[in-house]
């Protein structure tokens, strides 16, 4: 029987090529999209799920209770991990770490040759907590001594061309003005793709403490920053431990803060916090795209359902004959279901080919290394999705078609209940509701991204390059800056503690006091360390006072505030006000207009700026807009001669765009998937329009004979479809309005959802639908009426 | 073999009610060759469809092989049909997507005849119908006479007890029509009961009884003493 069914499907496909192609193409696109989304979702869901003790592994999170909100972060006081372990016997391992993005790429030197690499500082049990594969060394020993250093396999190859016999080899590194000499104690296999941990070297935490001291950065219970990860012992009562952890800082820190433990692997997808607890994060995109995958498959299935039921008249004879000669309903259901499953299987094979060919581009968009490996999970998902798709597409037509009595063939007509036509209409409306929702989503996302890009940051981000302050630049910052400013095309230069676009780079503190401050108020103030010419280089305007200047002697005890800080502090005449920061007094000399440190996700924070040249990490240079190539070439030459190294720089405006990478990714992906959804919907519409034109051939012939014009016929044929698309649009509007508003709430500054968005999305859908139907309608309306009547 | 009692079939639409069969009492013995005649719209085909278990009567009783089947479910009727009844139609009703061979083989797929047996029977019948040389052709590549020979082969491939033929020569020229009638007569000789709807007096003479219908009622029944073969 299977052979018969296969043969029958093959011959039907040859006979009705158009319908078959629409079904196959639609299902292939639907399945290919679903597979791509699965690969991405799977990569997201498996992120950080690779450590042996992951079920007992926790990130120590910290809630800061401010007057108006609770801020949650991973920053903890430096000694948190070791003290937690000492005080709580339930903890098996605890490590404090400094993530590599605190320092970008640092200078290292091996046998007098300079290189760059990323560094992480971690306490000795790091490799007991994170089960990365050590090629050389053991987890207990590699970070046990302060002069140890673990490097990755690829860094080893880069430095030594080998991973063998390099244990004990000295490696020197420099961070700002701090220099250290380490010896390689371990080599770790390159980190897999599914970890958020990223480093090329891990140095013992003791070196961080030295560096901290070198920077005059105090290590005490009110200074938060490093991150702590613990592994609890098996059988630990987590409720009890959470309570203990929550009270841990009470006796130690003056800040009203409390710790809590979040399962380590959960942070990646559940990294958004409100009121001191996780409220989601990237998981919402995982859900969103999983839904989109499901919708795309459903839309392709709908085409199959609609075309199968619409073209039932073609099947009447076959069904009648088969039933007459003995086929029962079950056998016909099996036949039609197996047909749809076979088509979805062929579509799945095509989908795999499509996925294989576009995966490199998709990987680029998602910035993930996605590969199509036929793992048991992938095969299970592929087979499962294929069978489910075949079943969803085939079950309704199978039930509908097999339900005809054999007598219909002899009566020569199909007694349509009208119910199936309503189902078809409903499904088309559903398809267009989804398509229009996606179009609206795409428009809103793009509008928001354009909105962000068009917003003034509060400084002039164009024509600014920045690079790390390292090597001889770090050891002779003043000389370097003076020489730099003399270069042709350089308008101004300064040093700051970050490139000012990265939120994690700006530290915050609540240890700030000012005249009139309510002692019970706890307000978080951001601070940034700068060098002279900061305002000039970034072109940040002042609203009062002045900026830092060498003309006024030492400025070490002076501060600049932004407008928001003045507002939050309630200062009416800020210039000259004395501010207490951790017991030291600083005088306010100027107030800047507000400018954005962070992306537009966050509101402008109250901020103070102070002169701390030794805390700065980045050199920022404003260059002339003219002849930039020559300026850059000149700067590279100058940098080479000053430092002996190659200048590696970035443009600030390009970096700003990266702050919205996640949104850009989602917007790009949504564009593609919305396009595919519209394509699938239109394929279905094309099939239905062809069917309608075919079914109404006789009517068209009669109408034309009676004097109907071609445009009148086109209108007649397009009317019903237009109604369906319009209904789809009406359903889509409230749904997409709700979804888009929720998404926009994630931005502190966002665009408005205006009527034109809905109008343009609706119009796009209508134009595409009309183009699809119009072709069929015009063709049908152009046939000579005699031919129409003869053929029918 | 077949007995109906006050068999009635009424078609209803929203506004019109049409009585296609009105209290038809018919009795057909095993081995008979009965021709049903009458003008268009008299209910011949409706009667044949009900006798062939592809349509249900609105009321009355229908005994098929001594079983009352008028209330049978679709599944029960299908089961009876596939093992006992073969159908021949005026418009041949071969499946366009299947070859001659596959059309003849098809009924045996539904009665789960093993593959070897299917092949043997199909080839035997195609030989018998002189269609073996066309076994890989599709219906649209055959003449009307050839198509009807294939349809006859398909109708008898499961060795049915009864053959229902609805104007089997209606679309054929006289020579091909004659061939088909001779084949039916031959099958009847071999013991198969045949019920045939026809307009043709000539064709009806191949049978041994003629039942005439008018406005859904039997108006006469004549036995033919000496029928053609």
Distance CA A603, CA A278 (A): 20
pLDDT (0 to 100) of residue A505: 43
For A130-137, what is the mean pLDDT?
A: 95
Angle at the Cα of A260 from the Cα atoms of A527 and A199, rounded to 5 degrees: 65
Placement of tokens 């029928």 in the chain: B227
Residue A506's pLDDT is what?
Answer: 47
Mean pLDDT, each 10-residue run in order, chain B (229 residues) = 92 84 92 93 90 90 92 86 90 90 93 93 93 94 93 93 92 90 92 93 90 93 69
A402: nearest CA partner in chain B: B74
pLDDT of residue B136: 95
Q: What is the token pair recorded at A568?
A: 């939050």
| Whether the predicted pLDDT of A425 surpasses 90 | no
Note the ipTM here: 0.85
Least confident of A276-280, A698-702, B156-160: A698-702
Of the candidate ranges A49-53, A143-147, A228-232, A494-498, the one whose mean pLDDT is the lowest: A494-498
- Pick from A317, A325, A410: CB nearest B107: A325
**Average pLDDT score, chain A:** 87
Which residues neighbour B63 within 8 Å (Cβ) at sequence distance 6 or greater? Answer: B2, B3, B4, B5, B69
Please name the member of B52, B81, B97 whose beta carbon is closest to the beta carbon of A8: B97
Rounded to the nearest 5 degrees, what angle is found at the Cα of A431, between the Cα atoms of A428 and A433?
Answer: 110
Interface contact B58, partner A, CB < 8 A: no
Question: Which tens digits make up the pLDDT trace of A568-606?
Answer: 899 999 999 999 988 889 999 999 999 887 667 677 888
The whole-angstrom distance between A417's CA and the closest CA on chain B is 12
How many Å lie between the alpha carbon of B62 and the closest alpha carbon of chain A? 17
CA A726, CA A732: separation in Å to the nearest integer? Answer: 10
Can you tell me the mean pLDDT for A322-329? 87
The pLDDT of A499-503, averaged and rounded, is: 54
Indicate which of A320, A321, A336 best probes the interface with B, i.e. most B CBs within 10 Å of its own CB.
Answer: A321
Name the pLDDT band for A789 (thresholds 50, 70, 90): low
- Which stretch, A214-228, A744-758, B116-130, has highest mean pLDDT? B116-130
Query: What is the predicted pLDDT for the residue at A504?
Result: 44
Tell me whether A331 touches chain B (CB under 8 Å): yes
DSSP state of A514: -
At which residue do the structure tokens 């404003």 appear?
A: A622
Contact A1 B102 (CB under 8 A): no
DSSP helix/strand/coil, A738? helix
Name which of B45, B102, B110 is nearest A327 (Cβ-Cβ): B110
* Whole-angstrom distance, CA of residue A332 vs CA of residue A444: 47
A592 - beta bridge partners? A542, A562
Contact A229, A97 (CB under 8 A): yes
Contact A597, A508 (CB under 8 A): no
Whether the CB-CB separation of B9 and B46 falls below 8 Å is answered with: yes
Give every CB contact of residue A719 below 8 A, 6+ residues apart in sequence: none
Cβ–Cβ < 8 Å for A82, A204: no
Alpha helices (H) along A46-170: 80-87, 126-129, 153-160
Contact B81 A324 (CB under 8 A): yes
Res A482 pLDDT > 50 = yes
Contacts of B119 in chain A (CB under 8 A): none
Query: Which residue is associated with the tokens 């040249």?
Result: A613
Question: Is there a contact between A325 and B106 if contact means CB atoms under 8 Å apart?
Answer: yes
**Which residues contact residue B37 at a Cβ distance below 8 angstroms, ignoring those fewer than 6 apart?**
B44, B197, B198, B199, B201, B204, B210, B211, B212, B213
**The two three-digit tokens of residue A766, written as one number:** 């209508």
pLDDT at residue A409 in the model: 65
pLDDT for position A424: 84
Q: For the segment A611-624, what is each residue's pLDDT rounded down to a tens digit?
A: 988 888 889 999 99
Of the listed ranges A411-420, A678-687, B23-32, B200-209, the one predicted with least confidence? A411-420
CA dihedral A632, A634, A636, A637 (to 10 degrees): 170
Q: What is the pLDDT of residue A503?
A: 45
Residues 6+ apart with CB under 8 A from B20: B9, B10, B11, B43, B46, B216
Which of B45, B55, B111 comes nearest A326 by C-beta? Answer: B111
Q: What is the pLDDT of residue A654?
A: 82
Find the CB nearest A410 among B45, B81, B83: B45
The CA distance from A185 to A172, in Å, is 14
- Angstrom CA distances, A628 to A270, A625, A642, B59, stand at 43, 6, 20, 97
- Check if the beta carbon of residue B220 is closer than 8 Å to that of residue B26: no
- In the predicted model, what is the mean pLDDT of residues A241-256? 86
Q: What is the DSSP string of A689-702?
A: HHHHHHHTHHHHHH
The answer to whether A320 contacts chain B (CB < 8 Å) is yes
* Weakest mean pLDDT among A31-45, A231-245, A512-526, B205-219: A512-526
Tell me if residue A56 falls in helix, strand or coil: helix
**A34-49 average pLDDT score:** 92
Say if the Cβ atoms of B54 and A405 lie within 8 Å: yes
Q: Which tokens in the block code for residue A430?
A: 């559903």
Instruction: Kindly report whether the global pTM for this prediction surpasses the value 0.80.
Output: no
Of B67, B39, B63, B90, the closest CA to residue B196 belongs to B90
CB spacing of A4 vs B83 below 8 angstroms: no
Q: What is the tens place of the pLDDT at every residue in A67-98?
A: 677 888 899 999 999 999 999 999 999 999 99
Looking at the predicted structure, is the pLDDT value of residue A687 above 70?
A: yes
Confidence grade of residue A521 (pLDDT, cut at 50, 70, 90): confident
Predicted confidence (pLDDT) at residue A411 exceeds the cutoff of 80: no
Buried b (16+ CB within 10 A) or exposed e, A25-59: bbbbbbbbbbbbbbbbbbbbeebbebbebbebbbb
Nearest CA distance, B215 vs chain A (angstrom): 18
């Amino acid at each position: 029987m299977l052979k018969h069914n296969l043969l029958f499907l093959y011959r039907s496909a040859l006979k009705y090529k158009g319908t078959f192609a629409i079904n196959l193409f639609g299902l292939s696109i639907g399945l290919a999209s679903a597979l791509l989304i699965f690969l991405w979702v799977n990569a997201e869901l498996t992120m950080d799920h690779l450590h042996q003790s992951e079920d007992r592994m926790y990130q120590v999170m910290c809630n800061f209770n401010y007057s108006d909100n609770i801020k949650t972060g991973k920053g903890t006081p430096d000694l948190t991990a070791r003290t937690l372990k000492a005080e709580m016997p339930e903890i098996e391992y605890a490590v404090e770490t400094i993530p590599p993005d605190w320092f970008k790429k640092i200078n290292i030197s091996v046998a007098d040759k300079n290189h760059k690499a990323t560094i992480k500082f971690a306490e000795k049990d790091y490799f007991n907590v994170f089960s990365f594969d050590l090629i050389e060394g053991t987890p207990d020993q590699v970070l046990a001594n302060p002069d140890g250093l673990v490097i990755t396999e690829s860094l080893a190859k880069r430095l030594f061309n080998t991973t063998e016999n390099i244990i004990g080899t000295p490696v020197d590194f420099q961070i700002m003005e701090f220099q250290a000499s380490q010896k390689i104690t371990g080599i770790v296999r390159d980190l897999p793709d599914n970890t958020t941990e990223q480093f090329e070297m891990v140095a013992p935490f003791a070196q961080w403490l030295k560096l901290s001291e070198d920077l005059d950065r105090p290590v005490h219970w009110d200074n938060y920053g490093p991150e702590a990860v613990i592994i609890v012992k098996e059988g630990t009562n987590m409720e009890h431990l959470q309570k203990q952890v929550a009270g841990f800082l009470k006796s130690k820190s003056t800040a009203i803060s409390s710790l809590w433990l979040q399962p380590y692997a959960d942070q990646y997808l559940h990294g958004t916090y409100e009121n001191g607890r996780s409220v989601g994060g990237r998981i919402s995109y995982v859900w969103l795209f999983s839904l989109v995958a499901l919708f795309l498959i459903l839309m392709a299935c709908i085409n199959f359902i609609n075309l199968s039921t619409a073209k039932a008249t073609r099947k009447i004879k076959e069904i009648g004959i088969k039933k007459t000669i003995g086929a029962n309903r079950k056998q016909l259901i099996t036949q039609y279901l197996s047909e749809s499953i076979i088509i979805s299987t062929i579509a799945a094979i095509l989908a795999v080919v499509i996925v294989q060919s576009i995966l490199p581009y998709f990987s680029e968009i998602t910035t993930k290394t996605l590969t199509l490996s036929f793992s048991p999970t992938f095969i299970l998902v592929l087979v499962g999705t294929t069978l489910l798709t075949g079943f969803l597409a085939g079950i309704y037509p199978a039930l509908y078609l097999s339900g005809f009595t054999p007598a219909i063939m002899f009566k020569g007509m199909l007694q349509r209940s009208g119910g199936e036509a309503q189902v078809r209409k409903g499904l088309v409306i559903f398809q267009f509701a989804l398509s229009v929702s996606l179009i609206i989503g795409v428009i809103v996302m793009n509008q928001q991204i354009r909105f962000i890009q068009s917003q003034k940051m509060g400084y002039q981000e164009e024509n600014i390059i920045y690079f790390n302050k390292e090597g001889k630049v770090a050891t002779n910052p003043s000389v370097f800056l003076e020489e730099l400013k003399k270069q042709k095309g350089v308008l101004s230069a300064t040093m700051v503690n970050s490139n000012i676009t990265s939120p994690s780079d700006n530290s915050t503190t609540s240890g700030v006091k000012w005249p009139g401050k309510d002692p019970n108020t706890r307000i978080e103030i951001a601070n940034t360390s700068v060098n002279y010419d900061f305002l000039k280089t970034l072109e940040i305007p002042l609203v009062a006072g002045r900026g830092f200047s060498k003309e006024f002697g030492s400025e070490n005890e002076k501060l600049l505030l932004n407008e928001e800080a003045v507002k939050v502090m309630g200062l009416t005449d800020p210039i000259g006000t004395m501010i207490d920061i951790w017991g030291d007094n600083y005088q306010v000399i100027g107030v800047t207009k507000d400018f954005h440190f962070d992306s537009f996700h966050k509101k402008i924070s109250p901020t103070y700026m102070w002169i701390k040249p030794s805390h700065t990490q980045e050199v920022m240079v404003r260059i002339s807009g003219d002849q930039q190539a020559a300026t850059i070439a000149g700067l590279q030459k100058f940098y080479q001669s000053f430092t002996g190294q190659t200048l590696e720089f970035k443009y600030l405006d390009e970096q700003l765009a990266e702050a919205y990478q996640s949104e850009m990714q989602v917007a790009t992906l949504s564009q593609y998937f919305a396009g595919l959804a519209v394509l699938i919907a239109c394929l279905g519409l094309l099939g239905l329009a062809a069917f309608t034109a075919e079914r109404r051939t006789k009517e068209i012939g009669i109408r034309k004979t009676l004097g109907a014009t071609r445009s009148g016929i086109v209108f007649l044929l397009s009317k019903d479809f237009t109604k369906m698309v319009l209904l789809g649009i009406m359903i889509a509007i409230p749904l997409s309005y709700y979804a888009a508003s929720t998404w926009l709430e994630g931005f502190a500054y966002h665009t408005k959802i205006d009527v034109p968005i809905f109008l343009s999305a609706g119009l796009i859908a209508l134009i595409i639908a009309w183009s699809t139907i119009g072709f069929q309608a015009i063709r049908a309306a152009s046939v000579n009426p005699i031919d129409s009547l003869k053929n029918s | 073999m077949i007995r109906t009692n006050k068999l009635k079939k009424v078609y209803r639409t929203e506004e019109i009610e049409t009585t296609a069969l009105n209290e038809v009492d018919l009795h057909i013995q095993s081995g008979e060759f009965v021709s049903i005649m009458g003008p268009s719209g008299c209910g011949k085909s409706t009667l044949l469809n009900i006798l062939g278990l592809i349509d249900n009567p609105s009321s009355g009783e229908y005994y098929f092989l001594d079983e009352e089947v008028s209330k049978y479910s679709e599944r029960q009727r299908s089961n009876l049909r596939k093992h006992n009844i073969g159908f021949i139609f005026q418009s041949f009703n071969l499946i366009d997507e299947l070859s001659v061979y596959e059309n003849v083989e098809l009924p045996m797929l539904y009665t789960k005849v093993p593959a070897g047996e299917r092949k043997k029977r199909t080839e035997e019948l195609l030989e018998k119908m002189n269609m073996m040389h066309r076994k890989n052709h599709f219906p649209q590549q055959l003449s009307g006479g050839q198509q009807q020979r294939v349809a006859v082969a398909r109708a008898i491939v499961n060795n049915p007890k009864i053959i229902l033929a609805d104007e089997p020569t209606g679309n054929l020229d006289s020579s091909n029509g004659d061939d088909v009638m001779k084949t039916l007569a031959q099958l009847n000789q071999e013991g198969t009961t045949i019920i045939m709807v026809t307009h043709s007096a000539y064709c009806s003479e191949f049978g041994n009884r003629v039942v005439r219908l008018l406005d859904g009622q039997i108006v006469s029944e004549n036995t033919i003493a000496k029928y053609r073969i």
